[in-house]
């Protein structure tokens, strides 16, 4: 391998190198970091926002953004809880049937809301920044209306497995996270839809002239990220065993940060699903390490923001793009 090849490999794997260096540092400085229990805990904690980040990667590659995913998480959990309460508790429907209906309905509502955002972008030229900013408030308010400000707790005990269970020693949400990663990786790397997505984000007009349905791609990708936000909401409602309107506050910033740290461009047309996975884990390791080291919460915000900015600058540097 030539020196140029080594340099190229180092540039392409810069984020992975930073993550490895951070893990080595924490292994020596943070007691309990390098234990199976802690590492699996990190994986569990990043899984739910990570599921959304994988979908957000597709959205940002397409040149759009979704600021409403945190509120969509809250609405999904609250809607599922309300439907189960209405069908099973008030009307006597069998719990498993009520849970299945509630989950399907929540996922369908999430997908539909995302498609509406895409439709507003395509038909009425409303930037997704604006439409999803509106959804951020609307969906959170809808969750509060459904719950009347109090958590709803109609879930059966076995429902907790989705968000709090394990398969062997692996947290079940982590399995969902890795399964979603595999599906989106294949979708983006080996299908015509993935190629169309990069084309649309790189140059929408050129994509249109080459026969790609730009509007259909954007509507579908907005629906996918909202669907994944709803899925994450179901996992979280299972973990806390309630539908609460106060959950997932600020998740949209964490999700977008992970995608940008992974090297995706807000201008569209650039990004990798694998790099988003690394970005999600990077943020999870960073937060966990600072907590184990008893770093002040105020300093955590400063350090976290500084490291995020550093990672972004490294990914956006001319050397990293060559």
**pLDDT band at residue 252, thresholds of 50, 70 and 90?**
very high
**pLDDT band at residue 51, thresholds of 50, 70 and 90?**
very high
**DSSP letter (8 states) at residue 86:** I
Inter-CA distances, 47 with 194, 239, 288, Å: 23, 12, 14
**pLDDT band at residue 298, thresholds of 50, 70 and 90?**
confident
Span 156-196, pLDDT tens digits? 999 999 999 999 999 999 999 999 999 999 999 999 999 99
- Inter-helix orientation angle 172-190/36-61, to 10°: 30
Q: What is the mean pLDDT of residues 59-79?
A: 97
Q: How far is CA 85 from its chain centroid?
A: 28
Contacts by residues 317-321 (CB-CB < 8 Å, ≥ 24 positions apart): 319/11, 320/11, 320/14, 320/263
Contacting residues for 138 by C-beta, under 8 A, at least 6 apart:
71
pTM attached to this predicted model: 0.94
Q: Tell me which residue of 133, 105, 102, 132 sits closest to 116, measured CA to CA.
A: 132
Span 197-236, pLDDT tens digits? 999 999 999 999 999 999 999 999 999 999 999 999 999 9
For the ranges 4-18, 168-182, 239-253, the lowest mean pLDDT is seen at: 4-18
Task: List the chain domain ranges.
Answer: 14-321
In this predicted structure, what is the pLDDT of residue 8?
A: 64
In this predicted structure, what is the pLDDT of residue 159?
A: 97
For the ranges 79-88, 116-125, 145-154, 293-302, the lowest mean pLDDT is seen at: 293-302
Q: What is the phi/psi pair of residue 286, to 5°? A: -60, -50
Span 118-163, pLDDT tens digits? 999 999 999 999 999 999 999 999 999 999 989 999 999 999 999 9
For the domain made up of 14-321, give the CATH fold: ABC transporter involved in vitamin B12 uptake, BtuC (1.10.3470)
Residue 10 has pLDDT above 80, yes or no: no
Token match 């970005």: residue?
Answer: 279
């Amino acid at each position: 391998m030539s020196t140029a090849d080594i340099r190229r490999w180092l540039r392409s794997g810069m984020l992975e190198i930073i993550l490895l260096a951070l893990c080595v540092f924490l292994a020596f400085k943070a007691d309990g970091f390098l234990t199976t229990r802690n590492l699996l805990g990190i994986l569990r904690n990043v899984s739910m926002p990570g599921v959304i980040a994988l979908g957000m990667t597709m959205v940002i590659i397409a040149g759009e953004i979704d600021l409403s995913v945190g509120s969509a998480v809250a609405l999904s959990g609250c809607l599922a809880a309300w439907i189960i309460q209405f069908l099973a508790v008030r009307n006597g429907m069998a719990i498993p049937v009520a849970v299945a209906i509630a989950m399907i309905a929540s996922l369908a509502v999430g997908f539909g809301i995302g498609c509406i955002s895409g439709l507003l972008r395509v038909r009425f030229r409303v930037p997704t920044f604006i439409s999803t900013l509106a959804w951020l408030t609307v969906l959170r308010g809808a969750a509060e209306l459904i719950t009347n400000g109090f958590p709803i707790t109609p879930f059966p005990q076995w429902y907790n497995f989705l968000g709090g269970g394990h398969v062997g020693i692996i947290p079940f949400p982590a399995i969902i996270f890795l399964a979603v990663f595999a599906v989106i990786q294949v979708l983006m790397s080996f299908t015509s839809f993935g190629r169309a997505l990069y084309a649309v984000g790189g140059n929408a007009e050129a994509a249109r002239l080459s026969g790609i349905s730009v509007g259909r791609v954007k509507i579908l990708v907005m629906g996918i990220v909202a669907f994944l936000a709803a899925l994450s909401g179901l996992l979280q409602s299972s973990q806390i065993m309630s539908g609460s309107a106060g959950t997932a506050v600020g998740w949209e910033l964490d999700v977008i940060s992970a995608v940008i740290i992974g090297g995706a461009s807000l201008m569209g047309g650039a990004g990798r699903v694998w790099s988003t996975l690394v970005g999600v884990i990077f943020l999870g390791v960073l937060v966990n390490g600072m907590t184990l080291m008893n770093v002040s919460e105020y300093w955590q915000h400063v350090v976290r923001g500084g490291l995020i900015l550093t990672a972004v600058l490294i990914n956006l540097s001319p050397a990293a793009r060559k």
